[in-house]
Amino acid sequence: MTARAGTALRHGFAQNPTGVCVVTVADGTDVQGVTIGSLVSISLEPPLLGFFVGQERSILGSLLPGTAVTANVLGAGQVALARRMATRGHSAVPAQHLCREGGWALVRRAVASYSGPVERVLPLGDHCLVVVAVEAVRATPGRAPLVFHDSRFTTTQE
């Protein structure tokens, strides 16, 4: 694909509304995180999810097979956290946003959290598909999610 086609793809996908997640990686006492919009359910049996991480993202080196990760779907009121974890050089998740359960690092007040070990990391173009074997799910139905559309944060409820 030419650089021009890549730009067209990016502009086109700006019209594709996505949920907003912070993926957390428990790294000793510290928790690293990154904002992603590419969360996808891959398989129910076995339960697998995936997300795409740019080859240049600083967190990629921590996403090794077996590493405990949690994909936290943010709520409408969590724009500040989404912005912070999308900012270069801010990979540490502030402790006040977190609660630890077992080996997982959950974001407080997330709409849903899916936890498990990284199963594999597949390079695809300038991103990697990170596949996670889901072992724990926590969901809060009825809470308005954060949505990214047309390069802006919004939600599904008026």
Indicate whether 54 belongs to the interface with ligand FMN (CB under 6 A): yes
Which one of residues 42, 86, 133, 136 is an interface residue with ligand FMN (CB under 6 A)? 86
Q: Exposure pattern of 56-87 as b/e (b: 16+ CB <10 Å)?
A: ebebbebbeeebbbbbbbbbbebbebbebbbe
Residue 108's identity, in one-letter code, is R
Binding mask 120-139 for ligand FMN (x = CB under 6 A): --------------------
Widest CA span of the chain, in angstroms? 46
H/E element holding 72? strand 68-73
C-alpha span between 152 and 155 (Å, rounded): 10
Indicate whether 42 belongs to the interface with ligand FMN (CB under 6 A): no
Nearer to ligand FMN among residue 15 and residue 45 (C-beta) = 15
Which one of residues 16, 43, 58, 156 is an interface residue with ligand FMN (CB under 6 A)? 58
Nearer to ligand FMN among residue 71 and residue 98 (C-beta) = 71
Q: Which residues bind ligand FMN (CB under 6 A)?
A: 20, 34-38, 51-54, 57-59, 85-86, 88-89, 91, 148
